[in-house]
Amino acid sequence: MKNLQVQIDAHSGFCFGVVYAIEMAEDILDEAGVLYCLGDIVHNDEEVNRLKRKGLKIIDHEVLKDLRDEKVLIRAHGEPPSTYQLAIENNLELIDASCPVVLKLQHRIKNSFDKGDSIYIYGKHAHAEVIGLLGQTNNKAVVFQDISELDLDTLPNNITLYSQTTKSTDKFYEINEILKNAGITVNTNDTICRQVSNRDRELRDFAGKFDHIVFVSGTKSSNGKVLFNVCKETNPNTYFVSNSAQIETSWFGENDRVGICGATSTPMWLMEQVKERILTF
């Protein structure tokens, strides 16, 4: 035995938006035994599989087009107006678990669009939240995930900048500086969720206290990638795993201190499993 000291980060685990969506789904599943959900309810396969076993059926927009007279959950990422329109046409009852933070951002973008602003969104192409945001502008806003995608010489003189809620705060402000230095007037809206940006700061503190960090997240989580990099920058001995089977005993030496943390989409029960496994080394 390696006599490892293992601690889970108390601030890791689901953010309130994900807790809200999963509680809503579980209430209905406990009563009805079945519920459709548009897209993965959370970017974590282990948690999605747990809910599928309770009767959750994950569908995509193609399947939604042919679905009639059913209950469909909208997950925390939110949806564009076209989905709400389709639900009316197909007599679908939407259980709207869009995160309040995302809904507020949708409204802000819609207001900017209605005022005629040139809207730029720092976000991941084709990400569900970004599709919902773009929908507020009839898909007219410009989405970019790297500043190199923008031709600064041909940008309007005056733009309104937003961010997907789970992007890196540092990168957002770097982009903001580059745009301003290029002589563009930027109406800057830092719309990064505080659940993400606060966790960024907390994780820097946490990651510095251990010999090794095991970061637990689904591979599809944007927020997972950002927060993993935050840990890795602070502590180079940081490993990314999606489940307890991926941990290797060779990572750790005798008497090492190991910290476990995760994304806003990582369930606490999964981090507990990871801890249990590490304690067997």
Q: Which residues bind ligand SF4 (CB under 6 A)?
A: 15-18, 76, 99, 101-102, 165-166, 193, 195-196, 264
In angstroms, the Cα distances linking 8 to 5, 17, 136, 223, 258 are 10, 21, 39, 18, 9
Q: What's the rounded Cα separation, in Å, for the pair 41 and 47?
A: 9
Task: Write out the two tokens for 3.
Answer: 């006599």
- Which residue among the candidates 23, 47, 129, 202 is catalytic per the annotation? 129
Q: Which of 166/235 has CB closer to ligand SF4? A: 166
Shortest distance, position 25 Cβ to ligand SF4, whole Å = 14
* Position of minimal CB gap to ligand SF4: 17
Q: How far is CA 117 from the centre of its chain?
A: 26
Look at the block and give the residue holding tokens 């329109």. Answer: 85
- Binding residues for [4Fe-4S] cluster, as ranges, are 15, 99, 193
Q: Which of 15/92 has CB closer to ligand SF4? A: 15
Shortest distance, position 221 Cβ to ligand SF4, whole Å = 10
Q: Which of 196/274 has CB closer to ligand SF4? A: 196
Closest CA to 129 of 113, 109, 158: 109
- Binding residues for isopentenyl diphosphate, as ranges, are 43, 77, 127, 221-223, 265
**129 carries an active-site annotation:** yes
Closest CA to 266 of 240, 236, 229, 245: 240
- Binding residues, as ranges, are 15, 43, 77, 99, 127, 165, 193, 221-223, 265
Shortest distance, position 103 Cβ to ligand SF4, whole Å = 9
Q: Which of 199/212 has CB closer to ligand SF4? A: 199
**Greatest Cα pair distance in the chain:** 65
Shortest distance, position 163 Cβ to ligand SF4, whole Å = 11
Spell out where the chain has E strands.
Answer: 5-8, 35-38, 56-59, 71-74, 93-96, 119-122, 142-144, 158-163, 185-188, 212-216, 238-241, 257-262
Task: Write out the two tokens for 140.
Answer: 């007219």
Q: What amino acid positions are annotated as catalytic residues?
A: 129
